[in-house]
Amino acid sequence: MQPEKSSRTTLVLLIFLHFLACQVSSLDTIKQGDNLNSSSQLVSAKRIFTLGFHTPRNTNNSYLAIWYTAGSYGPVWIGNREKPISKNMNPVLTISNKGQLIITQSGGESFELFAAGSNKNQSLSAILLDTGNFVVSSNGEILWQSFDHPTDTLLPGMKLGVNHRTGRNWTLLSWFGESNPAPGAFTLEWDPSVRNLIVKRRGMIYWTSGELKDHYIELGNLRVKQFENFPSEVDIFNLNYNLSNVTSANEEYFTYSLIIDRTWTPEERKVISGWKINYDGDIYDTNRGTIDRPSLCYGYKTEGSSVPKGCALWAQPECRNNRETFVLRSGDFRPVNGRPAPSVYDNDSSLSLSDCREKCWKDCECVAYINGQGTDGCVYWKGKNLEFYQSPDGSLLRKYFLDSPSSSKGMKKHVMIILVVVSVIVVLILGIGLFVMRKVKQGKREEELKELLTLEGYTEGYELENGGAKSHDLRLFTYASIQSATSDFSSDYKLGQGGFGPVYKGKTPEGQDIAVKVLSRQSGQGLLEFKTELILISKLQHVNLVKLLGFCIHGDDKMIIYNYMRNKSLDFFLFNPSEREQLDWNKRFNIIEGIAQGLLYLHKHSRLKIIHRDLKPSNILLDENMTPKISDFGLARIFKQNIDEANTNRRVGTYGYMAPEYAMQGIFSVKSDVYSFGVLVLEIVSGRKNNCFRQIEGPLNLIEYAWELWRKDSALELMDPTLRDSCDINQLQRCIHIGLLCVENQAVDRPTIEDVIFMLKNETASLPMPKNPAFITRNSVFQEVEKSTKEKLSANELTLSEMGGR
């Protein structure tokens, strides 16, 4: 056995032992007189949830908590968040004979969670249910339940809203900090009058979800509800949230459940999910990652910036402008006159991270801050003309630095004036251009456009394949024609929601079926640039790429028009139990080959060298012959802004398909596409989704599952059972092998797409052994990031405490 393998085996063994150890107590109920101390736990009937005492990292505090038995997602509920008990004080949960549910400690005050009226003769018991609800009841009557006392996480079935009968509100309240469950700055509330979720910071509205509306989803013709302002990515990867509002005489609330497919096994039904309002204001699912990022709200206009939809507007300090944000970076300010840049320490321990930011934002002198790193309160750096430098090796303490793209020193005013003049001219030219274009008859439209582009400086330097004889086939559609083709963007025509915006189906007057992709307005790109990009992209023609027909510009709205593909997309077949059988092994192998060919063309044979960055089953469309067509290629080029910001804000791409170096550091290359391709191959072979792996007590995701089977020499178990009759075992095994090579942790180890095609085609060529894959999930991203922060912090703690003493 190789050393690498053996250490991994040890790890698996350790996890298993740990698992056994946790299994010692598996009761789900305590009765009056029973005790639960720090070495015992309650575990729900199907082992989904555990209740016990939890000690957050780097603290000695003990809290009564409920968490998912599987996974390291942290507590979803805390009983005594305001009254931590030292873990050395032997905290014990008990139902006293007086009918109280209390936490006692040796030699300290006890904390009462609930007290039944003492005049009744009750026999109380408390049970931890598989929903995560901890319920105290007496003779079948529910007296108290943890679901009525939410902490910061909304589990499926929990309510958020108002109970008119008891006058109590169900509201989530964030933790104070990363390992401090005390009440923090953010709340997540439900406003039934406008059917909005609202995030407030210290009582002030920070972000709203927009109205909860009916929403049509392509897969399985589901009609589920969705919030207006949720980012479009949420639609895709959260197909299985069923959001709902309930209004009755006594209660008005929001809740959600998971859409569970009938075909799921009982094991698969133990899906982990919980919406958490994080201490920085972000909302994420404990298992699936970010839902939305209110922490990026700065209270100024959201249009055209990378701030999420739904941010509230606030009065702004005059000195701040809407290009400024704070960015977490490893770096420092250069010393001024030989002395370190001045910092100010505020020791007020009630200040959380977002309070520090708020204070810094409102102080015109403040250019950086940090919070809670070994000391309570905030540290600020203030001053004009402080010069920032980035730590070359990332070893300097990470702080939040003010990032103002427009304030590059000196010349600022001149640059602004020039910019204004230039943009006025450009707008004029564009205005005249568009006016001219409108006047031109349908037939001449293309000619005119080309001329216009030449006029505007579109150079012929980009001549592509086909000798450049024919410049482009791109058609300019009028807005009116798109409106009539899609019945005015009616929801009945909506095909789905892509990462870049909604997609509609339509029919042109000539009877051609089209798909209209409406780009979200955040592309932050000028019209000219948009057109130039599109024309470039339209020149990429390959049988495995979806064909671009044209585009349409209407005010700020930009649309791209494609050929409509009758057979929808790969995910429709692959992940749909009733359709899956239609894809026999031959078709699947052709699809794998086709995708590889399309990618090869993008990576090598088109002169643009396009890196797709969002390769996933829903972006692989299928025509009537089941030929795969890659769609959305080149969109990353159009959405340049998002990509430049890949390090700080939203990353283009979808978790589960993103290579680790891209997800964590924003580094992308052809090898990150190869990674996504590897995930696709494993999914095609197995008929299972990578990031929706629902086995609680097993591997994290499909990649890990495949890797474990591979190491046990039983890779064929990965095969989708419906392929049993049609598959070519050797070919299938080879595909798994190639898939595993593509998802290797180190980008340099992964093959290029050329290598992949060679390996697919040459059945006799010997393949290298795959190395450790990257088991990437949303949570491992968080954990990695946290870990690296921690490591750097401890290396720098000295600097900070010195500063604190000043």
Nearest distance, CB of residue 716 and ligand NAG, angstroms? 34
Q: Judged by CB under 6 A, which stretch of 34-42, 267-275, 314-322, 514-522 contacts ligand NAG?
A: 34-42
Nearest to 161 by CA among 254, 276, 274: 254
- The contact mask relative to ligand NAG for 201-230 (x = CB under 6 A, - = no) is ---------------------x-x------
Report the C-alpha gap between 201 and 279 in whole angstroms. 10
Please list, in sequence order, all residues whose beta carbon lies within 8 angstroms of the beta carbon of residue 559, skipping any fewer than 6 positions away. Answer: 477, 482, 516, 517, 518, 519, 551, 552, 553
If one asks whether residue 669 binds ligand NAG (CB under 6 A), the answer comes out as no
Per CB under 6 A, the segment of 52-60, 443-451, 653-661, 761-769 that binds ligand NAG is 52-60
Paired with 333 in beta bridges are 388
Q: Is 242 in the site for ligand NAG (CB under 6 A)?
A: yes
Tokens 């509800």 sit on residue:
225
Is residue 24 a contact residue for ligand NAG (CB under 6 A)? Answer: no
Site membership for ligand NAG, residue 60 (CB under 6 A): yes
Cα 688–Cα 693–Cα 694 angle in degrees, nearest 5:
120
Least distance from C-beta 90 to ligand NAG, angstroms? 5
Measured in degrees and rounded to the nearest 5, phi and psi for residue 123 equal -115, 105
Nearer to ligand NAG, 200 or 494 (CB): 200
Catalytic residues, by residue number, are: 614
Q: Which is nearer to ligand NAG, 118 or 730 (CB)?
A: 118
Q: From CA 788, how far away is CA 557, in angstroms rounded?
A: 41
Q: Which of 6, 7, 23, 347 binds ligand NAG (CB under 6 A)?
A: 347
The least CB distance from residue 160 to ligand NAG, in Å, is: 11
Kindly tell me which residue out of 26, 110, 137, 245 binds ligand NAG, with binding defined by CB under 6 A.
245
Between 26 and 59, CB nearer to ligand NAG: 59
Tokens linked to 795 = 């290396």
CB contact set of 194 (below 8 Å; sequence gap of 6+): 211
The single residue among 29, 106, 166, 244 that binds ligand NAG, judged by CB under 6 A, is 244
Pick the stretch among 53-61, 316-324, 618-626, 703-711 that binds ligand NAG (CB under 6 A). 53-61
* Whole-number Å distance between alpha carbons of 659 and 750: 11
# binding residues, ligand NAG (CB under 6 A):
23
Site string for ligand NAG, 161-200 (x = CB under 6 A): -x------x-------------------------------
Residue 794 touching ligand NAG (CB under 6 A): no
- How far apart are the C-alpha atoms of 387 and 707, rounded to whole Å? 48
User: In this chain, which stretch among 18-26, 240-248, 422-430, 585-593 interacts with ligand NAG, using CB under 6 A?
Assistant: 240-248
Amino acid found at 333: F
Q: What are the C-alpha distances in Å from 703 to residues 287, 357, 596, 682, 694?
A: 17, 39, 19, 8, 13
User: For residues 590 and 541, is the Cβ–Cβ distance under 8 A?
Assistant: no
Place of tokens 């690296």: 788
Closest CB 50 distance from ligand NAG, rounded Å? 16
What's the min distance (Å) between Cβ of 162 and ligand NAG?
Answer: 5
Q: How far is the CB of 349 from ligand NAG (least distance, A)?
A: 7
> Among 32-40, 501-509, 644-652, 771-779, which window interacts with ligand NAG (CB under 6 A)?
32-40
The yes or no reply on residue 137 touching ligand NAG (CB under 6 A) is: no
Compute the distance between CA of residue 30 and CA of residue 268 in angstroms, rounded to an integer. 28
The neighbouring-strand residues paired with 29 are 127
**DSSP state for residue 716 in the 8-state scheme:** G
Please report whether residue 59 would count as binding ligand NAG according to CB under 6 A: yes
| Cβ closest to ligand NAG, residue 169 vs residue 731 | 169
Do the Cβ atoms of 648 and 563 come closer than 8 Å? no
Nearest to 38 by CA among 76, 108, 96, 86: 86
DSSP H helices in 158-316: 232-237
Note whether 259 binds ligand NAG by CB under 6 A.
yes
Look up residue 602 and give its DSSP letter: I
Per-residue contact track with ligand NAG, 400 to 439, x per CB under 6 A?
----------------------------------------
CB within 8 A of 210, min separation 6: which ones?
Answer: 196, 227, 228, 229, 230, 309, 310
Q: How far lies 72's CA from each of 10, 182, 786, in Å? A: 19, 20, 14
Identity of the residue, 440 or 793, whose beta carbon is nearer to ligand NAG in the bound complex: 793
Q: How far is the CB of 419 from ligand NAG (least distance, A)?
A: 45
- Binding residues for ligand NAG, per CB under 6 A? 35, 37-40, 58-60, 90, 121, 123, 162, 169, 222, 224, 242, 244-247, 257, 259, 347
